[in-house]
Amino acid sequence: MEEKRHMVGGISRKTLERLPVYHHYLEQKGKEKAETISAPSMAADLKLNEVQVRKDLAMVTKTGGKPKMGYLIRELIRDIEEFLGFHNTNQAVLVGAGSLGKALLTYKGFEQYGVEIVMAFDSDGRKVNTKIGGKLIFPFVKLENLCQRMNIHIGIITVPAYAAQEACDHLVAAGVKAIWNFAPIHLSVPDHVLVQNENMAVSLSALSKYLYEAEKEGR
């Protein structure tokens, strides 16, 4: 029920979140010289529901799995990349040119996944009109106008928590349909806007907890 209430173009948001996980997993299997993979094996390795994995793959694969043999890994990777638009580059903008924003602006690997950060915005006048990773930093007040003119559909938020909702509201008003949020705060968006949260504090806490429990158990 939860997945049916959050659909994007007939695809559940949960499925969209799982597909990159499958892609990374399959790439690793390919590097290990594996040629085929079954849905039960994928589900077991990724600790996911087998029925859900089958449904997800059925939505993206053109050839389908074969009895006893499973899916050809190379073909499945290709189908997922085509489905997710890895080869149809979408332009994105970044809001917040601080330390994390700078790291993302200088990272060269996004285009492999169909995303190109074309510019950034910041409210700090000292950063405006400078370049980071070859990308020009514009004043925050120009965000809506430029995004609308360039028909930008992806926004990346790397501002502090207190400024994140305002940045989000301006991105939505500018026509952005997908937001990658690094701020440690829940964002309120219309139903048609997809938000992918990256809460690094929670992830680090989980790692710390794991290490604490492991030490208690003598692992």
User: Which residues fall in the annotated binding site for NAD(+)?
Assistant: 96-101
Q: Which long-range contacts (CB under 8 A, 24 or more apart) does 49-54 make?
A: 52/18, 53/22
Residues belonging to the binding site are 96-101
Pair 93, 110: CB distance under 8 Å = no
What are the start-end ranges of the H helices in the chain? 13-31, 39-46, 50-60, 73-84, 99-106, 143-150, 161-173, 200-217
Q: What is the DSSP string of 93-139?
A: EEE--SHHHHHHHH---GGGGTEEEEEEEES-TTTTT-EETTEEEEE
How far apart CA 36 and CA 45 sit, in angstroms, is 14
Comparing CA positions, the residue from 144, 95, 99 lying closest to residue 120 is: 95
Pair 92, 154: CB distance under 8 Å = yes
- Provide the token pair at 133: 């990773």
Three-state DSSP at 146 gives helix
Phi, psi of 109 (to 5 degrees): -90, -5
